[in-house]
Amino acid sequence: MNTLKSKREQYQKVLSKYLPEEFIDMVVELLVTHPVTFKIVKPRKTKLGDFRVNSRTEKPQITVNGDLNKYSFLITTLHEFAHLINFKENGPYVAAHGQEWKDIYSNLILPTIESKKLPEDIETALLNSLINVKASSCSDVNLNRTLIRYDEKNEEQDTLESLDKNSIFDLNGRLFRKGNLRRTRFYCTEIDSNKGYLVHGLAQVKEIKDGK
């Protein structure tokens, strides 16, 4: 069997679990065209994906969290491929999220929008996001708010922004009281330590009612 054909089929088989069916071939083409070590990894709380090059001789690496819903996985993957292409075209010293990266990212995202194969709300959110491309999809609150609608639902959890001020909530096994909004994050006080923390409004939390 042709090696390239075999590689494409292998990529398609793996990615079918993580991507919308309509966009598998798009990502496979990127993998074939731009050699890279592509890893699907365990969830990380600080990032959805990343791109790195450790040395001039080592193949660049892209990692994407494996727990993302299929649309978040797609957008995160295209975000990281924009870094790879930017690195290849403009070298290691180009600004990570400068105009060069923004132009490349926009060129990768536009075909997904023009395909008319995205849910309408994601299509609209992506179009709006391209007006002022953020360094991270997480930085674009409206886009991220739209994407999390497609997460598997946990009936016990809500987003922090949906809770009333002074609500008590559990986040990763720690109890907090919700405070005031500061841009995209709420100032929250940890119950045990009385220390203040800024928590993203779209963080998934469990509200504690009546001490339960």
Helix (H) or strand (E) holding 106, with range, is helix 99-114
Q: What angle do CA 92, 94, 98 make, to 5 degrees?
A: 145
Which of 11-20, 118-127, 149-158 is predicted with the least confidence, judged by mean pLDDT? 149-158
Span 141-164, average pLDDT: 85
Q: Are 38 and 62 in contact (CB under 8 A)?
A: yes
Please, what is the average pLDDT of the chain?
A: 90
Q: Is 110 helix (H, G, I), strand (E, B) or coil?
A: helix
Chain segment 79-104, per-residue pLDDT in tens: 999 999 999 999 989 998 899 999 99
Cβ contacts of residue 123 below 8 Å, gap of 6+?
A: 113, 116
Which of 1-5, 60-64, 134-138 is predicted with the least confidence, judged by mean pLDDT? 134-138
Both tokens assigned to 3: 């090696």
Q: Is 26 helix (H, G, I), strand (E, B) or coil?
A: helix
| DSSP class per residue in 52-79 | E--SSSSPPEEEEETTS-HHHHHHHHHH
Beta bridge partner(s), residue 52: 61
At residue 5, φ and ψ (nearest 5 deg) are -65, -40
Higher pLDDT, 141 or 166: 166
Dist. CA 96–CA 94, nearest whole Å: 6
Dist. CA 137–CA 79, nearest whole Å: 8
- The pTM assigned to this predicted structure is 0.82
Cβ contacts of residue 149 below 8 Å, gap of 6+?
A: 121
Give me the domains of the chain, ranges plus CATH numbers.
3-150 (no CATH), 158-208 (2.30.30)
Task: Let me know if 33 is exposed, middle or buried by CB neighbors in 10 A (0-12, 13-18, 19+).
Answer: exposed
The pLDDT value given to residue 63? 97
Dist. CA 177–CA 137, nearest whole Å: 27
